[in-house]
Amino acid sequence: MFIKDLAKQKDQFSDASSSAEATVDKKAMADKEVTLKGWVYNFRSSGKIFFLQLRDGTGFIQCILSKSEVSEKKWIEAQTIVLETSIELTGRVVEHPKQPGVFELQVTDFKLYQVPVEEYPIGKKDHGPEFLLDNRHLWLRSKRQWAIQRVRDEVIRATYDFFHKENFIKIDSPILTPNACEGTTTLFGVDYFDLGRAYLSQSGQLYIEAAIMAHGRVFDFGPTFRAEKSKTRRHLTEFWMMDAEMAFCDHKCNMIMQENLISFIVKRVLDNCQNELKILERDVSRLEKIKAPFGRMTHTEAVKKLQALGSKITVKDDLGAEDETLLTENSDVPIFVEKWPKGIKAFYMKRDPVDDNLVLGSDLIATEGHGEIIGGSQREDDYEILKQRIIDEKLPFKEFEWYLDLRKYGSVPHSGFGYGLERLVGWISGIHHIRETIPFPRMINRLKP
Query: Which is closer to ligand 4AD, CB of 78 or CB of 255?
Result: 255
Contact criterion met (CB below 8 Å) for 326 and 306: yes
Phi, psi at residue 230, to the nearest 5°? -70, 130
Query: Which is closer to ligand 4AD, CB of 85 or CB of 224?
Result: 224
b/e string for 213-245 if b means 16 or more Cβ within 10 A? beebbbbbbbebbbebeeeebbbbbbbbbbbbb
Count the residues of the shown chain that bind ligand 4AD, applying the rule CB under 6 A: 23
The correct pick among 181, 280, 337, 359 for binding ligand 4AD (CB under 6 A) is 181
CB of 4 to ligand 4AD, least distance (A): 30
Query: Which is closer to ligand 4AD, CB of 145 or CB of 377?
Result: 377
Query: Which is closer to Mg ion, CB of 59 or CB of 426?
Result: 426
Phi, psi at residue 175, to the nearest 5°? -100, -35
Q: Convert residues 196-215 into a mask of x (bound to Mg ion by CB under 5 A) and - (unbound).
A: --------------------
Beta strands in 85-182 (DSSP E): 86-95, 103-114, 169-170, 176-177
Partner touching 350 among Mg ion, ligand 4AD, none, CB below 5 to 8 Å by kind = none
CB of 307 to ligand 4AD, least distance (A): 24
CB of 351 to ligand 4AD, least distance (A): 16
Spatial distance between the Cα atoms of 320 and 318, rounded to a whole number of angstroms: 6
Query: Which is closer to ligand 4AD, CB of 55 or CB of 339?
Result: 339
Query: What letter represents residue 216's amino acid?
Result: G
Query: Which is closer to ligand 4AD, CB of 56 or CB of 182?
Result: 182
Which residues, other chains included, contact 199 with Cβ-Cβ below 8 Å and sequence gap of 6+? Answer: 176, 177, 178, 179, 180, 187, 188, 189, 190
> Of the candidates 79, 56, 52, 55, which has an alpha carbon nearest to the alpha carbon of residue 64?
52
Contact criterion met (CB below 8 Å) for 406 and 229: no
Q: Convert residues 339-378 into a mask of x (bound to Mg ion by CB under 5 A) and - (unbound).
A: ------------------------------------x---
Per CB under 6 A, contacts with ligand 4AD among 224-283 are 226, 228, 235-236, 239, 241, 243
Neighbours of 68 (CB within 10 A): 7
Cα torsion angle, 118, 122, 126, 128, sign: positive
Spatial distance between the Cα atoms of 10 and 140, rounded to a whole number of angstroms: 27
Spatial distance between the Cα atoms of 439 and 239, rounded to a whole number of angstroms: 10
Which residues, other chains included, contact 52 with Cβ-Cβ below 8 Å and sequence gap of 6+? Answer: 40, 42, 43, 62, 63, 64, 65, 81, 87, 89, 107
If binding is defined by CB under 6 A, does position 88 make contact with ligand 4AD?
no
Per CB under 6 A, contacts with ligand 4AD among 405-434 are 416-420, 422-423
The correct pick among 91, 376, 430, 441 for binding ligand 4AD (CB under 6 A) is 376
Q: Which stretch binds ligand 4AD (CB under 6 A): 111-119, 138-146, 350-358, 373-381?
A: 373-381
Q: Convert residues 6-45 into a mask of x (bound to Mg ion by CB under 5 A) and - (unbound).
A: ----------------------------------------
Residues of the shown chain interacting with ligand 4AD in the complex, contacts defined by CB under 6 A: 181-182, 203, 205, 226, 228, 235-236, 239, 241, 243, 372-376, 416-420, 422-423
